Amino acid sequence: MIEAKIIFFLLLIAFGLSISKLKYSNQLRITEKLILIIFFFSISIFILNPTLLDAIASLLKIERGRDFLFYILIPSSIWLGIRNHLRLNYLSSKLSKISSELALKNPYKF
């Protein structure tokens, strides 16, 4: 169990450092970055002390701590899916606009 905690904690640190280096130009808003930092901090606490999950779950009248994690996963997955969908639509419309402008400026060049 201790080896798994060490591995998960090291992976969490690596992911946290990679996300902290992302800039605003990569379409990551400051609020999203703050949410991710809080998320990584809380996950590291749960890795070091998994009984906290059961304590939080019992406060919320949830039977097990693992169920509490699942209930958090559902809305966060929906939020990430919607956010990615909006980003893809934005990039697609921007690409279409750029290609249309280039086609109007240079109609005979391929």
- Tell me, what's the pLDDT at 98? 92
Could you tell me the mean pLDDT of each successive run of 10 residues in the chain, 110 residues long? 72 73 62 77 81 87 84 84 85 91 78
Provide the token pair at 23.
């800039």
Secondary element (H or E) of residue 27: none
Kindly state the tokens that stand for 52. 């906290």
- Amino acid at position 23, single letter: K
Q: Tens of pLDDT along 28-41?
A: 677 777 777 788 78
pTM attached to this predicted model: 0.58
Amino acid sitting at position 40: F
